[in-house]
Amino acid sequence: MEIKDAAQLLSALGHDARLSIFRLLVEAGPAGLNAGAISDALAMPPASASFHLAHLSRVGLIQGQRAHRFIHYSANFSSMDALIVFLTRNCCQGEACLPLTAACDTRGTRRVHMTGD
């Protein structure tokens, strides 16, 4: 990932409304939510939600898929993954600079409180 791509993703996430949407979809998991449910959940006018969904979609952080009359949006986890790797690559000269991230589960096995590892 290049600087420009990463900055584009970060800038897309750097807005209350869009970050709220993205977090909602991250928690919703692969099944996602439709546009109306998102705009309801966040008490946001549909036009505003659509504007931000389009933005997130354009940069690849989420994707939408139509099912009947609804469009289901879901987070693109691999793009978030790549972004985090970009942010932390070659970090901190080998020190243990990200203890919380390390303790946080990203593989399905819970290890919230590290005891020694």
Partner DNA sequence: GTGTCATTTCGATAATATTCGAATTATGGA
Partner DNA sequence: TCCATAATTCGAATATTATCGAAATGACAC
CB 75 within 8 A of CB 62: yes
| Residue from 9, 25, 49, 75 in contact with DNA (CB under 7 A) | 49
If the CB atoms of residues 31 and 112 are measured against DNA, the closer one turns out to be 31
Q: Which residues contact 40 (CB under 8 A, 6 or more apart)?
A: none
Q: How far apart are CA 75 and CA 98, in angstroms?
A: 24
| Residue from 69, 107, 115, 116 in contact with its own copies (CB under 8 A) | 107
Q: How far apart are CA 44 and CA 53, in angstroms?
A: 12
1 contact, one of DNA, its own copies, none, CB 5-8 Å limit per kind: none
Ramachandran category for residue 68: left, alpha or beta (phi over 0 → left; psi -120 to 50 → alpha): left
Pairing of strands 33-34, 62-67: unpaired
Query: Binding to DNA by residue 45, rule CB under 7 A?
Result: yes
The residue range among 6-14, 33-41, 45-53, 63-71 that interacts with its own copies, by the rule CB under 8 A, is: 6-14
> Which tokens in the block code for residue 23?
């977090």
User: What residues line the site for its own copies (CB under 8 A)?
Assistant: 3-4, 6-16, 19-20, 23, 26-27, 29-30, 75, 77-78, 80-82, 84-85, 87-102, 104, 106-108, 117
User: What residues line the site for DNA (CB under 7 A)?
Assistant: 11, 15-18, 34-37, 39, 44-55, 64, 66, 68-71
